[in-house]
Structure 1
Amino acid sequence: MRPRKMIATAVAVGLSFSTLTACSSSGGGSGSNNSTGPITFVTGKDNANVWPPLIAKWNAAHPKEQVTLKQQSDQADQQLSDLQQHFQAKDANYDVVTVDVVWSAEFAAKGWLVPLTGKNALDTSKLLPATVKAATYNGTLYAAPYASDGGLLYYRKDLVPTAPTTWDQLISDCQGKTSPTITGPKPGCYAGQFAKYEGLTVNAAEAINAAGGVIVKSDGKTPDVNTPEAAKGLDFLVNGFKQGYIPREAIGFQETQSLNAFQAGQLVFMRNWPYADAILNGPGSKVKGKFDIAPLPGPSGHGASSLGGHSLAVSKFSKHQATGAAFVKWMEEPEQQTYDLTKGTLAPVITSLYSDAALVKQFPYLPTLLKSIETAVPRPVTPFYPAVTEAIEVNAYAALQGQTSTTAALAAMQKAIASATG
């Protein structure tokens, strides 16, 4: 998940709608069925107005399978809570839902999603492997990747000649040029998202993974974050506040605040998502034409992005699962996905679009973004994600504030994750 709004689409599959929507029983709403009919699609707030035209297009072609759009809030935690409440109530009116990449495991483990197998099977051969992995639980695909994302380094090319590939290079590039604050005659050096929310989990995980550390083992429940590697990664952020290469104001930054600071010329480097490119090149931006984009740096070379993005999933409680599956697959077609990229600057999940000449001309950062996604490390894939991310946020934030040492923060993080997943 990236803790901001993100919409894109994916890949064409070779199944006809007649196969997907062949009607059998009407379905009871609590198991698999092959029924067609009207559905409701639930997704986070669509600030880019991407969804209404797409749904109107679908509805024009499917008069008996109309889709109604229901928008949630623009806050990821509120979206998650809303979905959990409706799934727990076995609400048949939440037919197709947008699933953040870090929610898939929990939803699948609790039996809330229809597996994309059999007649619902999705052709994943043209999709970015990382997006497919994030939508898979226990070897089964439970959601259709339709939007990917990766963290990127935005840098002022008018202030530094080339993008840094290591943390030391980034810090060196700032020496003598910047202020430890984002006010005054000199810009601050570097900022990401360090407020106590999901964005901090992303930034902390990127730093830890770049240094060779992990947070939770591949079993999805065993913590392994109290290590020298994890300490080295988190120290990059902790020392940033101590030494001043991260402005002290950044302790409250979410995506919008870091973007605003960079756009106003108050930062040399910023970690953010691809959507920021369009805003930074938009009207009123003080850095329009003065910045470029590169992969995130790490301790000894390019770092590791956290994988962001969303998938579409069909509810196990939907009475019209066949229509839900058909709508999901329709959203996987290149025409819809290209529209989402050009309309909402949203990252594709079809690998070939990243080398499409026309799209690269319009979005020059696509090859860099592809590299970011291909080397991305998912945040902990676990059915206990809400508790795991809370453990990361609380303890990493305490370390960034200087309330505890890096070592103590990681020990507390390890203990909290073990308690949540045990």
Structure 2
Amino acid sequence: MIIRPLWGGAAVALALALGLSACGGDDGGPAAPAANDGRGPIKVATGKDLTQTVQKLVATWNGAHPKEKAEIVELPEDGDQARQQLVQNMQIKSDAYDVVRLDAVWTAEFAARRWILELPKTVADTGTFVPAALQTGMYRGKLYAEPWLTGTGVLYYRTDLLAKAGVQEPPKTWAELRDACAKVAKTPEGKGVDCYAGQYAKYEGLTVNYSEAVQSAGGEVFDSAGKPQVNTPQAKAGLQFLVDAMKDGTIPGKAITYKEEEGRRAFQDGKLVFHRNWAYVYALASGEDGSKVAGKFDVAPIPGKDGPGSGTLGGNNLAVSAFSKHQATARDFISYIVSPPVQNQYGRAQSFPLSLAALYGDSEMIKKYPYLPTLKKGMDTAKPRPVVVRYNEVSTTIQEHVTAAITGKKPVDQAAEELQKALTTLADS
């Protein structure tokens, strides 16, 4: 959901898959209608188009396809609410949507329940995509969703404040982050500026931030066998960082309500030294209208316990609804959106990192978005969320126990032990 991966919520991370073999091929979902070659107007269910770039791409499509026009339907900004709306639509086999934009982690659920259709190889050249992004559109070895947006979390930091404090480079560790904030706080310019914030409201973004903390402490939420590992010393060290940071003010108390946009606004208004978010923030914070930090910030990989941290691989994919009456048009529209010319156009108009691999080495793109090499470096070490049909239950369980820990309702050891038991139950079911 780097990128603002998930509508506005995002976005997104655990580790490896929770064995799908136990889930069955279609998880008992409703049988989907047979694929069709219907053509006609389509509706595209997607997140809020903050930059209005998608509307321009749609207008170009509509000009070339007057009898097959596409209409954008914006879903709720909150990722959980957006998913709920899509699920309700699919459960009643509604043809209200033809193309659906899915958070990368929803692909398995929608494919297993036969709510989206396998895509033919002619939709796009899969060799053009970032490999990790392509995997998020796969279910049981077949492609069900074309990767569109991808990325991982990065650290935004105030270059002007660090310079005033004599800090030469962005922090690579949590200790360095705290030390930099302490030095900034002693400067006149740093008075009243909070240290650091990510996303800590009780939603998908908290799952992402917790998972990144665990990974950045050398742990993993699930191991390669699909077993939860949240009560290991490393995993508990990641949770302890969040708890301590909330307690000592490294993360301001108000950040307990932060989703992507709340944190982005705080950073853009000059109220944070450091901020963990997705790539979409770059263009907005760089805008001269309304941004107090334009020209005063840069981007680095997120820090970790003993060195650079590990982010979560986020992203949005495009799929064809199994209940669409105009699936041929829907497939053609997806081909258009993910094609290299359109991705190039989209990439130059906004700062969402895209799935086309060539864009990360494009000199013109790097000139426009200098953070791209940093993003690519972060993506190389980022870990995906699990490809699991019951992911939403896994994420909700994590949110419950992590919230209890960071709000001081449970000590870290207790929260970790109870989370381990709960996730084990989900994994075994």
TM-score (norm 2): 0.86
| Cα deviation code 1:26-82 (max 9, x no counterpart) | xx9712233333322111222322222222211222233332322222221221111
Structure 1 residue corresponding to 2:372, chosen from 366, 369, 374? 366
1:128 maps to 130
1:244 aligns with 2:249: yes
Of Structure 1 and Structure 2, which has the larger fraction of its residues in helix? Answer: 2
2:217 maps to 211
1:262 corresponds to which letter in structure 2?
F
| Stretches of structure 1 lacking an aligned partner (at least 5 in a row) | 7-27
1:65 maps to 68
1:383 maps to 389
Question: How far apart are residue 103 of structure 1 and its match?
Answer: 0.8
More deviation, 273-282/258-267: 258-267
| Cα deviation code 1:258-316 (max 9, x no counterpart) | 22222233222111111111222222333222211101111222111111220000112
1:317 corresponds to which letter in structure 2?
F
1:408 corresponds to which letter in structure 2?
Q
2:139 maps to 137
How do residues 17-416 of structure 1 correspond to structure 2 at under 5 angstroms? 30-117=33-120, 119-120=122-123, 122-158=124-160, 159=162, 160-178=167-185, 185-218=191-224, 222-282=227-287, 283-416=289-422
TM-score (norm 1): 0.88
| Cα deviation code 1:118-156 (max 9, x no counterpart) | 555x42112111111111112211100011131110112
Tell me, yes or no, if the aligned pair for 2:198 and 2:263 is still in contact at 8 Å.
yes
Tell me, yes or no, if the aligned pair for 1:206 and 1:305 is still in contact at 8 Å.
yes
Name the CA distance, whole Å, in 2 between partners of 1:314 and 1:217.
Answer: 32
| Cα deviation code 1:386-410 (max 9, x no counterpart) | 1111111111111111111112112
| Cα deviation code 1:69-104 (max 9, x no counterpart) | 222222212211111011111112321110111111
Name the CA distance, whole Å, in 1 between partners of 2:43 and 2:367.
Answer: 36
Aligned sequence identity (%): 43
1:216 corresponds to which letter in structure 2?
F
1:382 corresponds to which letter in structure 2?
V
Change (3 A) 1:76 1:91: same
Change (3 A) 1:418 1:31: farther
Name the CA distance, whole Å, in 1 between partners of 2:192 and 2:65.
Answer: 57
Question: How far apart are residue 176 of structure 1 and its match?
Answer: 4.3
Name the CA distance, whole Å, in 2 between partners of 1:278 and 1:68.
Answer: 25
| Cα deviation code 1:7-30 (max 9, x no counterpart) | xxxxxxxxxxxxxxxxxxxxx971
RMSD of equivalent CA atoms: 2.2
1:173 corresponds to which letter in structure 2?
A
More deviation, 74-83/261-270: 261-270
Name the CA distance, whole Å, in 1 between partners of 2:306 and 2:202.
Answer: 28
Name the CA distance, whole Å, in 2 between partners of 1:156 and 1:411.
Answer: 38
| Stretches of structure 2 lacking an aligned partner (at least 5 in a row) | 10-30
Tell me, yes or no, if the aligned pair for 2:99 and 2:320 is still in contact at 8 Å.
yes
Question: How far apart are residue 346 of structure 1 and its match?
Answer: 1.6
Name the CA distance, whole Å, in 1 between partners of 2:225 and 2:105.
Answer: 15
Name the CA distance, whole Å, in 2 between partners of 1:155 and 1:333.
Answer: 33
SS at match of 1:74: coil
1:328 corresponds to which letter in structure 2?
I
1:21 maps to none
2:21 maps to none
Name the CA distance, whole Å, in 2 between partners of 1:44 and 1:304.
Answer: 26
Question: How far apart are residue 4 of structure 1 and its match?
Answer: 4.0
Name the CA distance, whole Å, in 2 between partners of 1:261 and 1:119.
Answer: 44
SS at match of 2:316: strand
Name the CA distance, whole Å, in 2 between partners of 1:176 and 1:76.
Answer: 37
SS at match of 2:89: helix
| Cα deviation code 1:171-194 (max 9, x no counterpart) | 222234339xxx992422211111
1:406 corresponds to which letter in structure 2?
V
Tell me, yes or no, if the aligned pair for 1:114 and 1:313 is still in contact at 8 Å.
yes
SS at match of 1:177: helix
Tell me, yes or no, if the aligned pair for 1:293 and 1:365 is still in contact at 8 Å.
yes
More deviation, 199-208/312-321: 312-321
Question: How far apart are residue 117 of structure 1 and its match?
Answer: 3.5
1:274 corresponds to which letter in structure 2?
A
Tell me, yes or no, if the aligned pair for 2:199 and 2:258 is still in contact at 8 Å.
yes
More deviation, 234-243/47-56: 47-56
